[in-house]
Structure 1
Amino acid sequence: MTAARPLETTTAATDPAYTADEMMTIAAARALRGDQRCFVGIGLPSTAANLARTTHAPDLVLVYESGTLGSKPDRLPASIGDGILAETADAVISVPEVFNYWLQPGRIDIGFLGAAQLDRFGNINTTVIGDYADPKVRLPGAGGAPEIAASCGEVFVVVRQSRRSFVDRVDFVTSFGHGRGCGERAALGLRGAGPTLVITDLGVMRPAADGELILVATHPGITVEQVREATGWDLRVADDCTVTEPPTVQELSALRALQAAS
């Protein structure tokens, strides 16, 4: 269910052939606005954020953990240490300053993260698969993601969907989402709203009032049942669940140009 797949085309002028990954990335980019400050994770989040900046949101301020503020790369950075982030930034500050003066005081609107595992309440695992003391797989770890999840105004998550990645309960809570729901973030005194949007290669989810993720949109050619089959819990579906607008020629061209330059 997670492999990139060609989707049916309807109108060649506005709906050319595209892959599931391209649909996911473009849907994620559309969620960003030009008046926002976005703390960007490397990988899928960085691709989506840079696509937004080069298309409909040229004033979007991209902040990377390495201390670059307002980076404007013309290709996708390979890591937070990629020199192009510093070379194209409005300012470069120290890592402690990024967290102490920008993130923790609430000056970042959107935290854009990926995940290895995500559960029904938006908790993220990037630490281990299996028992922490004796894991099946040891993952890259937390980095700055726990602070991003705790302090950004909102958190957007972009991740490919399968039963391995969308689980009822994560093996390890690296980055706190909505806990077990029912106001746990507020009880812990966390500043940010937590995950408010999850974009996958199958559709889009948002948290309900109790903090549990529900399906609010499917991508073109994807059924609700396909999304449910790729989810490790009994996924709820919004009454007004919609279908995502397919990519435009302009969006696809911009995305492919970014990827080709990298």
Structure 2
Amino acid sequence: MNTATDYTSAEMMTVTAARALENGMTCFVGIGLPSEAANLARLTHAPEVVLIYESGTLQTKPDVLPLSIGDGELCESALTTVSVPEMFRYWLQGGKVSVGFLGTAQIDRYANLNTTLIGDYTAPKVRLPGGGGAPEIATNAGEVFITLKHSPRAFVRDVDFITTLGFGRDGKGRDGVPNIGKGPTRVITDLCVMKPDPVDRELTVVSLHPGVSREQVQEATGWDIRFAPELAATPEPSDHELALLRELKARTERAHSGQ
């Protein structure tokens, strides 16, 4: 095992997120942190995880992390590529995706995601990229994993705009809705792991990363965050996981800089 000085909080987050994936899962992958974690899982404990990207690439095995869903690396390393309508209508809406792995700009206490705007809708302070395929992924995938860095700007009591449904404004947004997935089942940050409360769906910290205190998590969260009665300690990354992650990121940096 490692000491706390051997890895960064970002590496801790990525390794923890990667461990959430299991062999045999079919994973709809978002760009950025979710892609990093999903590919680390494929390179370590889950070599048979099936990675799908929004551009229609099935069972893709990129050697470097893609810049976007249109990155040629995804198509070149995929088993096959289908049209975007087929990807969404047959694979996603057809119930063939077990987990969606998403990032976001804002998340609230009921795991709703905002990638649309910051501020008032009619006069926003910041325009964000939008939903892309995330709303459909969160609706139709069997469950959703979310990973992002922990800060008061990202973790707000109520998102400014619900781009992607978690559990709605009152935690009941999925109640009684047919043909819909479980929604977010875990949120992985650089400080902790959260899961929705089984009764009211409010996010609850279930595991703290090594060296992280409750106070640190509370300071980085924009509401009075709950902690599970039996709070676990997140296992540290292994040397093998860290070596593969660092090599993956180094290969990516070399490739994207033209080396």
Asked if these proteins are the same fold (TM beyond 0.5), I'd say yes
Q: What is the DSSP-based 3-state SS (H/G/I as helix, E as strand, rest coil) of the residue aligned with 1:149?
A: helix
SS of the residue corresponding to residue 167 of structure 1 reads coil
Q: What is the DSSP-based 3-state SS (H/G/I as helix, E as strand, rest coil) of the residue aligned with 2:241? A: helix
- The match for 1:33 is 22
Match of 2:212 among 213, 218, 222: 222
Cα distance in 2 between the residues matched to 1:192 and 1:43: 23
Residue identity in the other structure for 1:248: S
Q: Within 1, Cα distance between the matches of 2:169 and 2:226? A: 16
Match of 2:9 in 1: 20
How big is each residue's C-alpha offset from its partner over 1:100-145, in whole Å with a ceiling of 9 and x where there is no partner?
Answer: 0010121100000001000000000000000111100000111000
| Gap regions ≥5 residues in structure 2 | 253-259
CA contact (8 A) 1:71 1:85 kept: yes
Distance 2:50 2:145 in 1: 15
Aligned-pair CA distance for 1:187: 3.0
Q: Does 1:146 align with 2:118?
A: no
Q: Distance in 1 between matches of 2:26 and 2:217?
A: 31
Aligned to 1:5: none
Q: Which residue of 1 aligns with 2:36?
A: 47
TM-superposed deviation, 1:74: 1.2
State how 1:55-74 maps to structure 2 within 5 Å: 55-74=44-63
Partner of 1:204: 193
- 1:165 paired to 2:161: no
Pair 15,231 (structure 1): closer, same or farther in 2 beyond 3 Å: closer
Q: Count residues in correspondence.
A: 251
Structure 1: gaps of 5 or more residues: 1-10
**Normalised by the size of structure 1, how large is the TM-score?**
0.93
Residue 188 of structure 1, CA deviation: 3.7
Deviation, 1:226, is 0.7
Confirm or deny: 8 A CA contact 1:208 1:214 kept in the other structure.
Answer: yes
How high is the TM-score relative to the length of structure 2?
A: 0.94
Supply the AA of the counterpart residue of 2:238.
T
Contact kept in structure 2, 1:16 and 1:249, CA below 8 Å: no
Look up the equivalent residue of 1:227 and give its one-letter code.
V
User: Cα 1:148–1:239, aligned 2, differ >3 Å: closer, same or farther?
Assistant: same
CA RMSD of aligned residues (A): 1.2
